[in-house]
Structure 1
Amino acid sequence: MELSLLEIWESMGFLSRLVAIGLVAMGVASLFVAIERVLVLGKAAAMSNEFAAKARPLLEDRDFEPLLDLAKGKDYERTPLPRLMAFGLESYFSQRKHVINDDDEAVTPAEMARRELTRRQQQLDSELRRGMGILASTGSTAPFIGLFGTVIGIITAFQGIAAAGGGGLEAVSAGIAEALIVTAVGLVVAIGAVLVFNYLTARFDKFEMHMQHASGELVDFLEGAGRGRKPGK
């Protein structure tokens, strides 16, 4: 006796159909998150590289105000690296003005910029990883949801045996097929989610490392500029 997917679906009970629909929904959600995050990360990396090429001459010349204007430009308003640089530079200028007015150098402008960069990078990292929880949850729970479907399928098989009054193949084939298919769907969804999660995590870690290097380099230039500036000027 051969069973098609349509026949198996028609033979499924209410709970089994709910499990199958839930697994397919999790797979679709994971696919959407994966595609959306790949596109976001690719655009962020491209725009950040473009910004870095323009910002490098300004940074080396200590032209921090033009650099801030560049970072806050409309072209980079949603790009992580320029936003991070803008946060650091704004903090630096704000603290430098405070030092000039109050003659208080307990915390240097460069140190305040470093602290602001650290805080803001955590915020930007969280924004970049938005939706990753869906992939992690899918990868960890889909196998167990599939196992739940397996249990339901086995119960259906035993009910078929009881109804037929025997243990022939025809009595149990629908329930066993239902159990195996739901389990397979759960494993496919979980494996796909875990692979994509690991791939994206590696790319995010690499991008965040570049942002850390860029913020550290900015602080180094700010500290150098601060040492070369006389008090009150």
Structure 2
Amino acid sequence: MDRAVDATALGGAQVADLSLWGLFLQADIVVKAVMIGLLFASVWVWAIIFDKVVVLRRVNARATAFEDRFWSGVNLEDLYRETGDNPRHPMEAVFAAAMREWNRSAARLVNAGEGTRAAIRERVERAMALTVQREMERLEKWMIFLASVGSAAPFIGLFGTVWGIMNSFTAIAAMKNTNLTVVAPGIAEALFATAIGLVAAIPAVLGYNKLSSDLARFAARLEGFAGEFSAILSRHTEERV
């Protein structure tokens, strides 16, 4: 009888599909759900990374072109009219916010005699700081998702692995056969979940670290421009008062 059981088990192990697709199809429904969720997360992680890389390259290129225009000696009012109410990139938005607030404050100071140079400078700096914060929040959208996947995906995959191994040992106990050819397919299915978790987590962690560094550099670039522009507007304010 034992030989018959062993032969049956061995025959089942021989026909078991150990390809990745076969391991997925043979997995428990819970393990399948974990795998599918991690695969979707991995695809979304790559989509976010690609989008952020493209966006950061574009905004840096546009910022460079704007700075070249800004420091070329062009009249600030002419540049502001070119910018209009719909800035095309973060640095242009910072410039537009500062010019809009400065024009309003300077007009009140000249016409009505209200405020001081320090008050004007403070309002302009606050407008630029808020704009920098708003623009960076927009650029940092979905970064929290990368961080979450990077930290949680291995544990989610591990949950699928533990669940799959529990089912495998339950089946082994029912069959009363610990032959490697019987154990291997179930263990492989379970470990496949951990592998997918790592596939999702590794690019998420690397992408998050790289993009966070690039975003921090761009934020520092915006803040540096804001500081320099604030000094320029302060001198213009002193000339007009």
Residue in 2 aligned with 1:44? 59
Q: Is residue 222 of structure 2 the alignment partner of residue 207 of structure 1? A: no
TM-superposed deviation, 1:162:
1.8
Query: TM-score, length-normalised on structure 1?
Result: 0.91
TM-superposed deviation, 1:73:
7.8
Aligned partner of residue 58 in structure 1, secondary structure: coil
Alignment RMSD (CA, Å)? 1.7
Please say if residues 85 and 96 of structure 2, whose CA atoms lie closer than 8 Å, have aligned partners that are also in contact: no
Q: What 5-or-longer segments of structure 1 have no aligned partner?
A: none
- Out of 44, 53, 56, the position equivalent to 1:29 is 44
Residue in 1 aligned with 2:91? 81
Q: Is residue 180 of structure 2 the alignment partner of residue 169 of structure 1? A: yes
The higher radius of gyration belongs to 2
Structure 2: how far apart are the matches of 1:67 and 1:95? 19
Residue in 2 aligned with 1:70? 82
Structure 1: how far apart are the matches of 2:81 and 2:111? 24
Structure 1: how far apart are the matches of 2:72 and 2:234? 17
Alignment length, in residue pairs? Answer: 225
Please say if residues 106 and 237 of structure 2, whose CA atoms lie closer than 8 Å, have aligned partners that are also in contact: no
Aligned partner of 2:187: which letter?
I
Higher relative contact order (CA 8 A, sep 6+): 2
Structure 1: how far apart are the matches of 2:107 and 2:122? 14
Residue in 1 aligned with 2:11? none
Q: What 5-or-longer segments of structure 2 have no aligned partner?
A: 1-13
Summarize the alignment of residues 174-189 of structure 1 with structure 2, pairs less than 5 Å apart.
174-189=185-200
Structure 2: how far apart are the matches of 1:52 and 1:70? 14
Summarize the alignment of residues 145-164 of structure 1 with structure 2, pairs less than 5 Å apart.
145-164=156-175
Q: Percent identity?
A: 31
Alpha-carbon deviations, 1:118-156, whole Å to 9, x = none?
111110110111111111111111011011011111112
Structure 1: how far apart are the matches of 2:22 and 2:199? 21
Query: TM-score, length-normalised on structure 2?
Result: 0.88
Residue in 1 aligned with 2:105? 95
Aligned partner of 1:46: which letter?
A
Alpha-carbon deviations, 1:171-197, whole Å to 9, x = none?
321221012111111112111100000
Aligned partner of 1:7: which letter?
G
Please say if residues 97 and 128 of structure 2, whose CA atoms lie closer than 8 Å, have aligned partners that are also in contact: yes
Residue in 1 aligned with 2:68? 53
Structure 2: how far apart are the matches of 1:226 and 1:101? 14
Aligned partner of 2:61: which letter?
A
